[in-house]
Amino acid sequence: MSKFGFTVILLCMLNLFVEANEGLIVFTAEKPRRDLYSFEQSIGRLGGDRRQGSKKPWWEVSTRDIYTIRPDGTDQRQLTDDGMSTRPEWSPDGRWIAYIHGAPPKESLIVMRQDGSEKRKLIDRQVQVRDFWWSTDSSSLLATIETRKSSAPLEGWIVTVENDKPKRLGNPRWAQGWNHWHALDTEIINPQPRLLKALPEDTNWPEWSHDRRFIAFIADGRLATADVEAVSATQRWFAQQKEPPANLIEEWSWDDTKVLFYVSGYICVATVTDGVIEEIWNLSRHRAGRATFNYAGDRVAFTSRQHNRENTEIYVMDLDGNHQVQITNTNYNHFEPDWR
């Protein structure tokens, strides 16, 4: 079968999944532990006693587990119950969820089915799993691992859902988001040295478009884009002079026409045509947490602390900012939604 035919079949399967389920949002929920310290912290009573200044890390005062929920707020399901699970991400075909178990310096990368079954540990007890990316066919993951090596602690690792022996990649600089999956194959592509040389010197952790033609990155505090092939060929990159300010890039839409990013805590969107930034708008108009596109790219889920509340909830809204709906209503925190 040709790569094109394989891609068409994969996209059809993904469309059927999305249509059948109307999409699911996977997220992390943080709940306080039921001990004296956690209780006093929750009511702001820690100051002024012998424990002042000794704030404990999150895993000692709370639990974090992974859940799914429909975008209308129904059918919430808990998938882990170990109290140490975070950063869930859907596989492209929607059949698997990858997530991190533990906390530095002992983090593991695990995958499970969308119902929480068949948990498989692919990377065990490393200092930190800095980031990870699914292959197009959902069979493998590329991860950036922080190891205990003092000279070059960052490494790129390739692991498979079938739990084959991990493959380690060289060049710690490339592990900072430059190694990437081929758009149509289970092959890792190394960056062109000419590309890295042409971009601003401090550019790292780029966000690759799904077709791998473009990257989005932060340059001098602004959202920038680059045509990978053109810049690699000419070894020259120029700012478009209309890049918006940006603090962090979240993701490209699945059709690679929009980039979701943040400025001073606001969720913002930029439309991109052939690598050129066109329209830009502030989507949330209030400070929010992590945001994610649905598969169609016309709605966004995000977390926010609103209405004088002290915990974060999950909200869903259209891409024009209308029809904003709060889909969780609890007394605990919600983080890291991913919508597929």
User: Domain holding 119: CATH number?
Assistant: 2.40.128
Q: Report if residue 120 sits inside a domain.
A: yes
At residue 20, the pLDDT reads 47
Has residue 127 been placed in a domain? yes
CA neighbor of 288 nearest in space, from 324, 322, 264, 321: 264
**Per-residue pLDDT tens for 3-37?**
445 444 554 555 444 444 589 999 999 999 988 88
Q: Is residue 170 part of a domain?
A: yes
- The enclosing H or E element of 334 equals strand 333-339
Domain annotation covers residue 243? no
Contacts of 308 by beta carbon, 8 Å cutoff, 6+ apart? none
**Spatial separation of the C-alpha atoms in residues 104 and 288, rounded to whole Å:** 25
Which residues constitute the domain of residue 25? 3-190
pLDDT-flagged residues of the chain (< 50): 3-4, 6-8, 11, 15-20, 48-53
Report the alpha-carbon angle 332-338-340, nearest 5.
Answer: 135
DSSP-derived letter for residue 57 is P
Residue 325 placed within a domain: no
For 276-302, how does the pLDDT look when each residue is reduced to its tens digit (9 = 90+)? 999 999 998 888 889 999 999 999 999
Q: Are 298 and 71 in contact (CB under 8 A)?
A: no
Q: What's the pLDDT score for residue 1?
A: 52
Res 18: pLDDT: 45
Q: DSSP for 205-238? A: S-EE-TTSSEEEEEETTEEEEEEHHHHHHH----
Cα–Cα distance measured from residue 157 to residue 79, given in angstroms and rounded to the nearest whole number: 26
**225 is a domain residue:** no
> Tokens 């919600």 appear where?
334
Q: How far is CA 230 from CA 115, 194, 222, 226, 302, in A?
A: 43, 10, 21, 8, 34
For residue 14, the model assigns a pLDDT of: 52
Q: Determine the pLDDT at residue 68.
A: 98
In total, how many domains does the chain have?
1
What pLDDT score was predicted for residue 77? Answer: 97
69 contacts 27 by C-beta, under 8 angstroms: yes
Nearest of 271, 183, 258, 176 to residue 228 by alpha carbon: 183
Question: Is residue 332 domain-resident?
Answer: no
- DSSP character at residue 12: H
